[in-house]
Amino acid sequence: MKDISCKLLVIGAGPGGYTCAIRAGQLGIDTVIVEAKKAGGTCLNVGCIPSKALIHAADEYESVNAMARGGHPLGISAQGPAIDFAKTIAWKDGIVGRLNNGVAGLLKKAGVKVLVGWATFTDGKTVEVTTELGRQVIRAEHVVIATGSEPVELPFLPFGGRVISSTGALALTHVPGKLAVIGGGYIGLELGTAFAKLGAKVTVIEAQTRILPQYDPDLTRPVAKHLRELNIDVLTGAKAKAAREEGILVETAEGAESLVEADTVLVTVGRRPKTAGWGLDAIDLTMDGPFIRIDDQCRTSMRGVFALGDVTGEPMLAHRAMAQGEMVAEIISGKKRVWDRVSIPAVCFTDPEIVTAGLSPDEARASGIEIVVGQFPFQANGRAMTLGREAGFVRIVARADNHLVLGIQGVGAGISELSAAFSLALEMRARLEDVAETIHAHPTQSEGFLEAALGALGHAIHI
């Protein structure tokens, strides 16, 4: 095939890659994007979107089940709820398909050439793509590596058969009877919770002393409580040792061996950057541990080669990659841009949800800052009561001297939508007074944010 020359070549059409390509197209940059699978990457195909679809379906099913169990506080009763899981999956796949087409359409609209195939670097400016039609050489002035990440395998539990990754969990055709989840991080808990609500008997095996160890205990306590209410067994301080016919052998915190029965084993022990198979050796980039090292403009150690998203490190979040992608496209177009974001919010779609943005109280104290903290429980929030979901709180961390907001965290049902307010406050460099003086609509859960700020100032109204 005839070689292609372009100004920008993006490798990987995940959230970071496709955002970069679309923005570049908007800016009139001659752009080619290469993707081996469908556009949208992990997020759209086997991550954020399908898992949230599944979680929503599980929530709906669980709420009808609660009504059917009788004695529902709202006085609603239901009988014989059932789920056609194949239809649930078809609905989920429909959403993914629509979004796949949406991204492809956006790329086309932006004038980006999409090439389906596997890209391998020949040198820093040349990439060879294996497509269905043969070998295609692409020469580009700038190359963006957005190859993403993949689930980590346990050596004694290779993926396959009844051992599945998050990707496999989202492709199940039936609800497992007994599901063992190895790894009590956010992916394992999100999926474990969903399958428990769909009827599976779920056991979570976590090596650390508590679930979601990256969050402070105050934030995870409501989640742990609800896991118990959902009859999910959580084994903390426990290590999966080996696969057995009837389940998985675990070394408990006490050092005893115990068998966790399971017909399906979901391994969610983390994700690793995809740095193999596309010719990283050929360009010999400086690495940062397993990740590609980048500077504050997403430039790698090689001139003209950028990297963004999960392949560049934590936090492995789609919205970080998207913001990086947009920035890189603008840098390539000649605009002056540098990564100067204050906060990359993180949402954990457990039940209840957890949102973190900026510094936690401990992180702020560790960096030697005198802080004030305000916390407001949803128990005292009218809207939370009317939803029947009063667990959780909003917490705000600010400097003691000038009240600059340093971090906002919260846990509660539906709190993911408050992440926008949290991030905006941080990015605008708001002070407690700015939040406190902003009218928050009543009755909403967002009033918890206002009250937390007032609380930090020492004069919360509703507590």
Partner 1 sequence: MTEHVIKLPDVGEGVAEAELVEWHVKVGDLIREDAIIGAVMTDKATVEIPSPVDGEVLWLGASVGDVVAVGSDLVRLSIAGTGESKAADTEKASGETLAAARQEVSPPATITEPSVTAAPAAPAASVAPADKRSSAESAPRTPLSGAPRGEGERPLASPAVRLRAREAGVDLRQVAGTGPAGRISHEDLDAVFAQGPALARAPGRQKRTGVDEIKIVGLRRRISEKMSLASSRIPHITYVEEVDVTAVEDLRSTLNAGRRQDQPKLSFLPFLIRAMTRAIDDQPNLNAHFDDEAGIIQQHAGVHVGIAAQTPSGLMVPVVKHAEGLDLWGTAAELTRLAEAAKAGTATRDDLTGSTITITSLGAMGGIVTTPIINHPEVAIVGVNKMMVRPVWDGSTFVPRKIMNLSSSFDHRVIDGWDAAVFIQRIKALLETPALIFIES
For tokens 């080996």, name the residue. Answer: 242
CA 163, CA 154: separation in Å to the nearest integer? 10
Tokens of 51: 């898992």
The residue (of 261 and 296) whose beta carbon lies closer to partner 1 is 296
The CA-based dihedral angle spanning residues 204, 206, 209, 215, taken in that order and rounded to the nearest 10 degrees: -90
Question: What are the backbone dihedrals phi and psi of residue 409, each rounded to the nearest 5 degrees, phi first?
Answer: -130, 160
Return the CA Rg of the chain.
24
Smallest distance, partner 1 to C-beta of residue 355, A: 20
Of 4, 81, 427, 438, the one binding partner 1 (CB under 8 A) is 427
Which CB, 280 or 432, lies closer to partner 1? 432
Listed residue (224, 196, 222, 228) closest to 210, CA to CA: 224
Q: Shortest Cβ distance from residue 338 to partner 1 (Å)?
A: 7
**For partner 1, what does the binding mask look like between residues 316 and 355, x meaning CB under 8 A?**
-------------------xxxx-x-x-------------
**Least CB distance to partner 1 at residue 434 (A):** 8
Instruction: Give the active site residue among 226, 442, 459, 462.
Output: 442
Binding part of the chain for partner 1, among 200-208, 275-283, 395-403, 447-455 by CB under 8 A, reads: 395-403
Per the omega criterion (within 30 degrees of 0), is the bond before 315 cis?
yes
In degrees and rounded to multiples of 5, residue 156 shows phi and psi of -90, 0
DSSP output for 288-328: ETTEEP--TT-B-SSTTEEE-GGGG-SS--HHHHHHHHHHH
Quick one: 285 or 453, whose CB is closer to partner 1? 453
Number of residues near partner 1 (by CB under 8 A): 16
Name the DSSP class of 379: G
Nearer to partner 1, 352 or 407 (CB): 407
Q: Where are the beta strands (DSSP E) in 324-370?
A: 346-348, 353-358
Q: Using the rule CB under 8 A, is 276 a contact of partner 1?
A: no
Tell whether residue 242 is a contact of partner 1 (CB under 8 A): no
Our answer to whether residue 72 is catalytic in this structure is no
Contact set for partner 1, span 129-148 (CB under 8 A): none
Contacting residue, 328, 394, 403, 412, with partner 1 by CB under 8 A: 403
* Residue closer to partner 1, measured from CB, 276 or 338: 338
Q: Which residues are catalytic?
A: 442
Kindly list the residues in this chain that would bind partner 1 in the complex (CB under 8 A): 335-338, 340, 342, 399, 402-404, 427-429, 431, 433-434
